[in-house]
Structure 1
Amino acid sequence: MNIFGIGLPEMILIMLVALLIFGPKKLPEIGRSMGKAIKGFQDASREFESEFKREADRLEQTTEIAKAPVPATPEVVATPVASAPSEAVKEVANATDA
């Protein structure tokens, strides 16, 4: 049995020292507290992982949309301009030259 790189003899030694330090009445409370802390850590880890996956999927979709071909836009046809405005521009240019 090997948990976190600690073998069975080391685990027994740690449990005996904990029993001597905290006593038989406090040891179950400490075990429950540690169990709750580990469960909370696992829940937070799972939530972080799922959030990371959601964000990666969102970025992947954004990248796919950005790589999609852009549909061609219709060309704008220039309409002929009336001759009156160009004559007015010529008159203004002549007036400023004089």
Structure 2
Amino acid sequence: MFSAGEIILIAIVALFLFGPTKLPELGRTLGRTLSEFKKGAQGLMEDAHAAAPQDVRQDAMQRPVPDPVSELITAPVQTDHAVPAQLQQTPSSRDKREDLRRLPE
């Protein structure tokens, strides 16, 4: 995410802004806040898991996951697209273009 140089620069700026006595206190507070946030998020996940009925969880775990690669390989390819007459090349139009690409002699 950040390179070592950027982290050192951020640390130096934080040291100048907050001073050497306030910086450890800010670090502890930030660590406690992150810990509480993780505990709260974990509690929400556990509550959501407990609220889901058991049969729904079992059904979701037993349902096979489709393989997208095999679906792409076995999917039928449509090749019945007609080429408009304007895009079809005739031998004479192809020869004219080749003549234009040649250097004059």
Deviation at 1:60, TM superposition (A): 2.5
2:50 corresponds to 1:54 = yes
Q: Which protein has the bigger helix share?
A: 1
- Superposition map of 1:7-86 within 5 A: 7-57=3-53, 60=56
Give aligned pairs, total.
58
- TM-score, L = length of structure 1: 0.53
Aligned partners of 2:3 and 2:55: how far apart in 1? 44
- TM-score, L = length of structure 2: 0.50
Aligned partners of 1:56 and 1:12: how far apart in 2? 46
Aligned partners of 2:28 and 2:9: how far apart in 1? 20
Q: Give unpaired runs (5+ residues) of structure 1.
A: 62-98
CA RMSD of aligned residues (A): 2.0
Q: Give unpaired runs (5+ residues) of structure 2.
A: 58-105
Larger radius of gyration: 1
Q: Which runs of 4+ in 1 moved over 3 A?
A: none
Amino acid at match of 1:46: Q
Deviation at 1:57, TM superposition (A): 3.4
Change (3 A) 1:58 1:16: same
